[in-house]
Structures are given as structure tokens and as C-alpha cells.
Amino acid sequence: MLTGIHFLLSYKCDSACDHCFVYSSPDAKGTFTLDQMKKAFGELSKIETIEWIILEGGEPFLFYPLMYEGIKIAHDMGFKTGIVTNAYWAISEKDAELWLTPLRDLGLSDISISDDEFHYEDKETSPAKHALSASRRLGMSCGSICIGKPTVEEGMDKEYVKGKPVIGGGAVFRGRAVEKLVAGLPRRPWHELIECPYEDLGDPGRVHLDAYGNIHLCQGLSMGNMWDVPLSKIVREYDADSHPICSPLVNGGPARLAKEYDVPHEGGYVDACHMCYLVRRALIDKFPQYLAPRLVYGL
Ligand code: SF4
């Protein structure tokens, strides 16, 4: 049941982290206009199951007035609200309070702050720490997101043992992580990658919206385009079995997707997402309305 809508407010970010699965960077485009955001909210009122609206990116604080307006609209519509940020703006605890107080006063339900070695080398005095302290002092619900560099789990560097986790650290191998983080990691045979480990593509609980109109089931895997067909109609009529990418993924994972469309593939991949992402990228010209936007594939 679809309960969460995440707005990718923009693909633009002050950083370009190695593990970013949407290829955000300071040069990235794709920012919602106020009118686009209001149009999407107008459709959300027609989907009765929605509970949460999360604003993220890219870095949503780069577009503070738009982010503020989005939280206000969502709150006025009765949704719970959240923001995901890297806290670049929290140059001190006092400054962080300046940014956070108006959001607290609006009724923001939760803020998630990236606090890891990809974002900050000095973890003790990082902006993330300032933002977390300020949030707590303001009585806001907050949490940190901590992704580590990939590590090979003990004993798995020699040979893959079925059923055991191979890679630690929490990074997912999509987007820029595939370009930057997979080198030297052990791989699993491609034919064992027979299910999607993270997303319920048959009955999605959340989707991400971007300014290009894409309704992401997973990064770069779209239900359809909400600027072409109303969002509520796409969500109502979505059926994984008639979606050309989701159907094989649901019925046999990335291995099935590659077989279905005869996509040349490697002998092994770090995990299912690694294979899925590369097979999808190979299919992007065949299914441009479902595999979009190209920037999420580094193209
Ligand atoms: S990349 Fe593919 S396998 Fe991984 S969560 Fe997304 S849809 Fe599932």
C-alpha cells in the first residue's frame, strides 16, 4: 500500500558523494518549480492511502523557500512530514537553530541527517553533529543516516558463500556507487540474483517524484510520467505484471530481466542492485518512459 511520497526536490547538491544513487552534484539540474510541486500535491489529495511526505534530493536546503512551502502545504493537507539533508548549512549549533526553528514551528514531523564519512571526515564537529544537537534542543524528532565505505565481510573475500552477506557498510550499488565503489569487491554469480532485495515492486509502499515527472519505484525505475498522465491515475492503474521492467524483476530479479531482453551481462555482480542497475542502463533507449531520467544513470 502506497503510504509515502518522497519529493526529489532537486537533483542539485552541494556535494557529489561516491555513494549517491541519483548522481547528485552541484551541476545537476531538475528542480521542482512551485507550480509543479502544487500540481503534484493536488494529485496526492486523490490518493487516500498517503500518510507521509518526505522532501529530499539532492540537497533540499539549497531551495529553502520551496522546501518550506512544501512542508507547509503537506502539513496543511494533514500529512506527516519529513526532510532528508546532509546539513551543509549547520555551520554552528546556533546557526542550525536559525534554519530549523521555522520548520519546527510549521510542525515538521521528522528530520534525517546524513552523518557519515562520505559527507564529513571530521565526525566530531561536523555540520551533521551541529544539526542533530540543534534539532534535539528544539525538541524535534531527528535521526542520522550513516553509510560506511563498503567492506568485505569476514571470510567472504576468497569465495562467495551462499546465504551470507558479502558486503558491509550499507551502501547500495546503484548510481554513482556503481562507478566509484565496486572495484575490487567480491561478486556473486549473475544467475543467483533472482530477486529484488529492497523494494516491493508488486505493492510499493513509497515512490519518489522528480521535477521531470518521473514516479520512481527505485532510483531510475519509473511507474510513468506524471506530467503526461495524472499521478493519481498512474498510481491507481499501476500493475507490476504489465510493467515491462518490473514484471521480470518481480518474477525473477535482475537475472530474469537480463534474460527477458537478451541483455549481455557479466559473469558476476556485487549484488542484485549492481546487476539490476547495469541491465536497466543497457535498456534505457528501449524503455525511455520507464527508465528515467538519464542523469540517474550517469548519462
Ligand atoms: S536496483 Fe533493482 S534490485 Fe535493487 S532495489 Fe532497485 S529495483 Fe530492486
Q: What is the pLDDT of residues 207-251, one digit of tens each?
A: 999 999 999 999 999 999 999 999 999 999 999 999 999 999 999
pLDDT tens-digit map of 46-89: 999 999 999 999 999 999 999 999 999 999 999 999 999 999 99
| Whole-number Å distance between alpha carbons of 212 and 224 | 11
Judge whether residue 169 has pLDDT over 80: no
Report pLDDT for 142.
96
pLDDT tens-digit map of 188-201: 999 999 999 999 99
Identify the CA nearest to 100 among candidates 142, 134, 58, 59: 134
What residue's CA is closest to ligand 1, atom 4? Answer: 273
pLDDT tens-digit map of 120-129: 566 667 999 9
pLDDT tens-digit map of 3-46: 999 999 999 999 999 989 899 999 999 999 999 999 999 999 99
Task: Quote the pTM value.
Answer: 0.93
Is it true that the peptide bond before 58 is cis, omega within 30 degrees of 0?
yes
* DSSP H stretches of helix in 164-239: 176-180, 231-237
| Whole-number Å distance between alpha carbons of 295 and 211 | 13
Report pLDDT for 124.
67
* Residues 6 or more apart in contact with residue 199 via CB below 8 angstroms: 217, 218
What residue's CA is closest to ligand 1, atom 8? Answer: 196
Which grid coordinates are listed for 146? 550513516
Judge whether residue 158 has pLDDT over 50: no
Q: Which of 207, 221, 223 to mutate to test the pocket of ligand 1 (most atoms within 8 A of CB)?
A: 221
As for ligand 1, residues whose beta carbon falls within 6 Å of it are 174, 196, 198-199, 218, 221, 249, 254, 272-273, 276-277
User: What is the 221 CA–ligand 1 centroid distance (Å)?
Assistant: 9
